[in-house]
Structure formats: C-alpha cells, structure tokens
Structure 1
Amino acid sequence: PEMQGGLVKTLDFKIYLGLLSETYNPAHAQDLARLEASKLDMVVTNLYPFSKTVAAPTATPEQARANIDIGGPCMLRAAAKNFLRVAALSDPVDYARILAELKQGDGSLTLNTRFELAQKAFAHTAAYDTAIAAYLAGRTASAVRQCYKIMN
C-alpha cells in the first residue's frame, strides 16, 4: 500500500526480500516461501527527474524536495548489491541490448552483464545523490524556510 500522493509505494519488505534473497541459500528460499514473497530477477527503473527539475530557473525548494526519489534508488541498490542473481537496469540506453540478451539467453542474463549493470546502477545512484547534496549545499535554511509558511 502507498500513502496519499504516491509515497512509499516501493518501500515494501517483500520487494526487498525478492531482490536481496540468495535463492541458492536454502534458508533464504524457506524465508521467501514462509513470507509469501517472490524472487525478483530484475529491476528496471527511472528515477524522479531531480536534476532536470532543479535546473529550471523557477524551481522551488518544494519542487526539488518532491523530486527526490527514495524507492527507485533503494530498489536499484538492492538489485545491484545482489548482482549474482539480479539485474539492475537504470539506463534506457541499455533496454534494447538487455532485451536482446534475454531473448538469446532464454530469459537469462550473464553474470558479466549483471555485474556491468550493477556498476552502472551504483554510479547512477551516486550521481543522483551528489546532485541532491549539491543542490542542498547551495541553499540556506532561511531561504528554504521562506517557501514553507508552517515551518519555524
């Protein structure tokens, strides 16, 4: 379930069980069954357009805050961490190549491909977090406070 406004829709423990489980580990397989969770073999996600949003001359701190993606980076990082089994697809440029490999590999990707995708996913989430940190570093609390009437 998600909160109003679409918050928390991908922050569900069953998603992370499915991404992080090591299905070759019998205890993990038992946990998946016991908790009625399914293994997930791939994450394909595009993050909220934070950099594009804050690049607009009229962007407000609230628009910036609203475009900080939480669930997308979490899923990418979980998938990338478990590259032994899970593919973390973070760049639309890769879609056609990955689809072709899936077709050629009978629905599977090689470890080399999953590792390459993990490298790319961690670089992507690091750049995303760096953009957020840079934006926040360029603001003062008093300037941000002016956007929020209820904050002191």
Structure 2
Amino acid sequence: MEFLPIARALISVTDKSSIIEFGSALHQAGVELVSTGGTMRQLTQAGLPVRSVNEITGFPEILGGRVKTLHPNVHAGVLADKDNPEHMQTLQDHHIAPFDLICVNLYDFGKAVAQNQSVREAVEEIDIGGPTLLRAAAKNFHSVCVVPGPHWYPRIRQEIQDNNGTVGMSIRQQCAAETFAQVSRYDAMIADYLRPVQEQ
C-alpha cells in the first residue's frame, strides 16, 4: 500500500534517547504501543499506556532475556503482507493483530568489545531478537514501517502528522534500506571480533 496507516507499534530500544518524545507522539496519534523490558518501564514511567510483549505472546521473557520477542504472535504480526487477503485471514484465524511500525535498535556489542570483556561476557551483548525484528520489518516494508534509529524519529513523526496518521512508501523503503545496512554492519563487527582464535 502506498500510505500505511499506523495503528500499532512495537518499541524495543537499547538507545533510549528521545524515545519518550517519540512514544508520546505516537500515542497522541492514536497508536497502540507494545514494548519490552526497560523500554516499557521508561515509557510507562512517562505516563504512556503500553502493553507488554508478554501479554501479546502469552509467554514470559526467559533465559535471562535471550527469548522475549521470538514468537509467532509477534513475527506473524510483523511479516504479514497487508495486501494479501490470505495473510490477513491467517492472522484473523489465529487471533493475531498486525503491527504497523517497528522501532528497534540493537544491543551495543561495540561497547562490550571496547571494555575488553571476555568472549563469554561479550557474546551476551550479541542481539538476536532485535536484528530478527528489524530484518522482518524491513523485508515487509510494503506493510510495515521500520524505524532503525533515533535520527529517524522526527521525520517519521512529521510524516504521520502530515499524512493523517500514515507513512508513505518512499520513506518506508528508505528506512528498510538503512535497516539492512545497519544489521549488515552489526554482523560484520561481530564476525571480526570472533574470527581470531582467542584464549579467554
């Protein structure tokens, strides 16, 4: 679709700069907010109504937070093609609501490396759910707006404001392209770190 109505957003960010302002703008535009962990706490403390991912999945965060968004109730809502009636019927059959906006940024693996952590400690800063969400939303930019960093917040806010609660195809494709580039750089950084044989 050319103009995507934004009614439901998933927000899960490591870099929380400007996230309250962005979440507030989304809420004022009538967007339902879904979030995880520390992001949810920060938004809730700011007085915003937020649903937890646990509520959406019906399953708690487990393995010390390693598994929280990796669930069909999340990813089917991200990957469904809204122009495909069969996809939308499948969501309906399984009582899954689609997402329209995914705002995610990744664990700071570079910081862990800079702090000379052991390999065992550093790998805990390798994000799994974040890149998965970002790639899913970027792949499905025809039906989802992916927001890969705080520098996009003002433009997305303005887009929603100027287009009666919708985001146009052009900016969605630009965000998707940047998302894939970011995830590629992130994976390359991890590969460069792990490639040397290290005794730790």
Whether these two folds match at TM > 0.5 is: yes
- Matched residues in 1 for 2:156 and 2:108: separation? 23
Which residue of the partner structure matches residue 98 of structure 2? 39
Quick one: which of 64, 67, 85 aligns to 2:122? Answer: 64
Deviations 1:94-130 (A, max 9, x none): 1111111111112211100000000000000000000
- Matched residues in 2 for 1:12 and 1:112: separation? 29
Which residue of the partner structure matches residue 6 of structure 1? 65
More strand by share: 2
Quote the offset at 1:139 in angstroms: 3.5
- Matched residues in 1 for 2:82 and 2:146: separation? 17
Quick one: which of 25, 31, 38 aligns to 2:84? Answer: 25
Q: Which of 1 and 2 has higher RCO (CA within 8 Å, sep 6+)? A: 2
Matched, 1:105 2:192: no
My pick for the range that moved more, 1-10 or 65-74, is 1-10
- Matched residues in 1 for 2:82 and 2:159: separation? 22
Q: Give the unaligned 5+ runs of structure 1.
A: 145-152
AA paired with 2:121?
A: Q
Identity rate, percent: 38
My pick for the range that moved more, 119-128 or 18-27, is 18-27
- State the SS of the aligned residue for 1:109: strand
- Cα RMSD of the aligned pairs, angstroms, is 1.1
Q: Give the unaligned 5+ runs of structure 2.
A: 1-58
**Runs of 4+ residues over 4 Å off in structure 1:** none
Matched, 1:90 2:148: yes
Quote the offset at 1:138 in angstroms: 2.6
- Matched residues in 1 for 2:91 and 2:141: separation? 18
Which residue of the partner structure matches residue 75 of structure 1? 133
More helix by share: 1
Superposition TM-score, scaled by structure 2 size: 0.68
